[in-house]
Structure 1
Amino acid sequence: MTIPLRQECPPGACDCRREILLQDPAGDRRVLMLNKQEEKRLLERIEAVASLADLRHMERKLFQLLGITLRIEPGPFEVRTVRGFIIKVDEQVGLCRQVRSSIPAAVRRCLERHPEISYALLNERDLFNGL
């Protein structure tokens, strides 16, 4: 059984350079396995995260299975809301712009639903140490 690869983006709509990845025989094509259906399942799974440990596990799995690097860290200034966190998916060949924006949006929705995860993220940086 083969997993269907992500469909090609409309010309000019994306900067994923999918064709370069398909032409390179040594290229890491794991990211192309994230088709529309799998992307939807991934976003639902991210939004369902209920703890910091689960969120960190998702980060590791994204990297192991798809080669996607997700970084979540407090912003350089005050963090009053989840908008104060820097949530970024690193660019890579084959990863669509839409996916690079939808994953951080799903993480933000998760953090809004579970503020205790936000506090735990801040505590990782010792912002609440001693309180």
Structure 2
Amino acid sequence: MTMPPFPIRKECPPGACDCKRESLLEDPQADLRILRLTKEEEKRLLERIEAISTYAELMRIGQRLEEQLGVSVSIAPGPNEVRTVRGFQIVLGERPGLCRKTRQSVPAAIRKCLDRHPEIAFAILNAHDLFAEQ
């Protein structure tokens, strides 16, 4: 097992996560970018997501997650009505090394952002042609 030259996320307690961190570290060809998201960096990321105030910022954060960590973020209206931010489907792409807690905390932070700024929620709906002029 070779350790990368940058600080990596500490392993989760046994049985608490399904991130497959060890198998990722054992593979010499694996993309280790996701392991750069330490708990401290995750806290900073969540604070930054909660502080977003525009749709463009939200899209930029999603793009940066893809570029820097290789994690895709999908935000779309759910299959039923969208009456609250709970109606949005916010999904982080499955990826080895992505902690279960992170897969839950990032969508929760995005929902908090949408609660504080409903105009972002309307922009998401508009981007998915819900409010498109007919």
| TM-score interval, normalised by the smaller of the two chains | over 0.9
Aligned residues: 130
Q: Pick the aligned partner of 1:3 from 3, 6, 12.
A: 6
Distance 2:12 2:43 in 1: 17
Q: Pick the aligned partner of 2:75 from 66, 72, 75.
A: 72
Partner amino acid for 1:25? P
1:98 counterpart residue number: 101
Q: After the TM superposition, which segments of 4 or more aligned residues of structure 1 sit over 2 Å from their partners? A: none
1:63 counterpart residue number: 66
Distance 1:126 1:105 in 2: 24
SS of equivalent residue, structure 1 residue 6: coil
Confirm whether residue 54 of structure 1 aligns to residue 57 of structure 2.
Answer: yes
Aligned CA-pair RMSD = 1.1
Distance 1:59 1:105 in 2: 14
SS of equivalent residue, structure 2 residue 91: strand
Q: How does 1:22-33 map to 2 (within 5 A)?
A: 22-33=25-36
Partner amino acid for 2:114? L
Partner amino acid for 1:18? R
Deviations 1:46-75 (A, max 9, x none): 111111111011111000000111100001
Deviations 1:22-49 (A, max 9, x none): 0001100000000010000000011111
When normalised by structure 1's length, the TM-score is 0.96
When normalised by structure 2's length, the TM-score is 0.94
Q: Which runs of 5+ in 2 are unaligned?
A: none
Q: Which runs of 5+ in 1 are unaligned?
A: none
